[in-house]
């Protein structure tokens, strides 16, 4: 990492802030008001132009009704981070997907499905569609 490029963890945390803010249908201005900062500062946090301090991240988590750990879920692992006795790498997740308008719409719609069996069938349908797409694109 150099001074011009933000750390991948900062980028990831910023994307998770944006994702949760959008899930809650909260504007940057509304979040800024809750934190006592401008909407421009929220933009800088979300784009990782400015780093988020530990105390500010705690305030953001409170304002967005999540635990601080939420912002680090599926975070990229630094190449130089010691793996020790950890298990083999799990599947690679495309974290950029989580901040797309389509994923947010899909998530919000899915949360409204009250029936557990219908939720399972919906997941099965999406998996089948993805498998079909993979087979036809090979």
Burial class (CB in 10 A: 0-12, 13-18, 19+), 16: buried
Instruction: Specify whether 65 is located in the same domain as 115.
Output: no
**Is 82 among the domain residues?**
no
Residue 95, CB-side half-sphere exposure with 13 Å CA sphere: 19
**Is 53 among the domain residues?**
yes
**Is 57 among the domain residues?**
yes
pLDDT at 90: 44
Tens place of pLDDT per residue across the chain (138 aa): 556 889 999 999 999 999 999 889 999 999 999 999 999 999 999 999 999 999 999 999 999 999 999 999 888 875 445 444 444 444 444 556 666 778 778 888 888 899 999 989 998 998 898 888 877 876
Domain containing residue 7: CATH number: 1.10.260.40
Global pTM reads: 0.65
DSSP one-letter code for 29: H
Instruction: Specify whether 71 is located in the same domain as 111.
Output: no
pLDDT at 67: 94
Instruction: Specify whether 1 is located in the same domain as 59.
Output: yes
Range of the domain at 11: 1-76
Instruction: Specify whether 106 is located in the same domain as 57.
Output: no
């Amino acid at each position: 990492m150099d001074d011009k490029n933000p750390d991948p963890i900062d980028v990831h945390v910023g994307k998770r802030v944006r994702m949760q803010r959008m899930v809650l249908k909260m504007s940057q201005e509304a979040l800024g008001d809750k934190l006592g900062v401008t909407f421009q500062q929220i933009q800088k946090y979300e784009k990782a132009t400015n780093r988020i301090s530990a105390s500010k991240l705690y305030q953001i988590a409170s304002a967005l009704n999540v635990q601080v750990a939420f912002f680090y879920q599926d975070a990229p692992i630094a190449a130089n981070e010691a793996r020790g006795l950890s298990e083999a790498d799990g599947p690679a997740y495309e974290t950029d997907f989580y901040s797309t308008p389509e994923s947010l719409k899909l998530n919000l719609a899915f949360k409204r499905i009250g029936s557990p069996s219908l939720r399972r069938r919906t997941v099965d349908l999406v998996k089948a569609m993805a498998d079909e797409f993979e087979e036809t694109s090979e």
